[in-house]
Amino acid sequence: MKRYISLAALALLLCAVGVSNNCIMEEKVIEIVVTDKTCQEMEENHDSANFVTPAIIYYAAEIDAILDDNDYSREDMHSARVMSVAYIVTNFSHTHDWTISGYIDVERIDISDGPATLFNYTSQSVTGAMGDYVIAPLQEAGVELINRALDDYIAGGNPVIRFAVHNGNVLPPPSPADPIVFNWRACIMIYVTTLAEVDAPDPF
């Protein structure tokens, strides 16, 4: 009987030590999600309702910075997609409000892709966009263009996107004596997923 008990104790000991070494550790591949935004500051100063304000976004550098902030690199990336776009007026000092209408489009300038409308804004009060971000009602064509740029980045490319405001209407109409002047910021929120291999204790 004692022999069996000793064997049982030895088996338990070996099991405990074995479990404690390699048996319990399993390599897991987990998909980590990082969210961040890339923002573009814009300055508007116009004396007519019809104006175009372009901005160039070096998307590769923007995503490099996001990854670097989170201790990841391009090689770690698995996927990336647009989550939302929002804008806010950051500086406005007129004595009266303006209502503006138009659209914003995006176009790749490193390759031929676009332009495609990202979102329309209709009767947007300038003062109404101060304080809190306004969520943009996105168009699929523009979102898909940015998503393709993100895919190209993962594949090793360096996408550059031209972001342009096409304003078509302003009320009251601006003039040289009363130009529409304001600063605003547009932010594209994206998520990035990375694959990480983690040795996690999963003994049973």
Partner 1 sequence: MDATTVRTGIGCLMLILLCAASASAQIEDQLSVYTGANAIGYMQPLADAFGADLNASLFHSAEIARIGFHFRLEFPIMGVIFSDDDRTFTAVTEGDFSPEQRVQAPTIIGSGEAKVVTGYGGTSYAFPGGFDLNSFAIAVPQLRIGSVFGTEAILRYFSINTGDVELGDLGLFGFGIRHSVSQYLGPVFPVDIAAGFFWQKFKLGENKDGDDLISVKAFTIGVQASKKFAVFVPYTGLSYDTSSMDVAYVNDSSGAEERIDLDFDSTKTVHWTIGMMIDLIYLNAFAEYNIAGQSSFSFGLGIGFGVGI
Chain positions contacting partner 1, by CB under 8 A:
5-6, 8-9, 12-13, 15-17, 19-21, 24-25, 28-37, 39, 70, 79, 81-84, 86, 119, 133, 135, 137-140, 142-144, 147, 187, 189, 191, 193, 196, 198-204
Shortest spacing between CB 172 and partner 1, in angstroms? 31
In terms of CB distance, is 129 or 180 closer to partner 1?
129
Between CA 200 and CA 204, with CA 202 as vertex, the angle to 5 degrees is 170
User: Which residue, 84 or 125, is less far from partner 1 as judged by CB?
Assistant: 84
CA–CA gap between residue 66 and residue 33 (Å, rounded): 12
Q: Provide the minimum distance between the beta carbon of 176 and partner 1 in the complex, in angstroms, as a whole number.
A: 37
Nearer to partner 1, 62 or 98 (CB): 62
The minimum distance between CB 178 and partner 1, in angstroms, equals 33
Residue type, 70: N
* Best CA proximity match to 81, nearest among 148, 138, 158: 148
User: Number of H helices and number of E strands within the chain?
Assistant: 3, 8
In total, the chain counts a number of residues equal to: 204
- Identity of the residue, 109 or 187, whose beta carbon is nearer to partner 1 in the bound complex: 187
Q: Cα separation of 72 and 38, whole Å?
A: 17
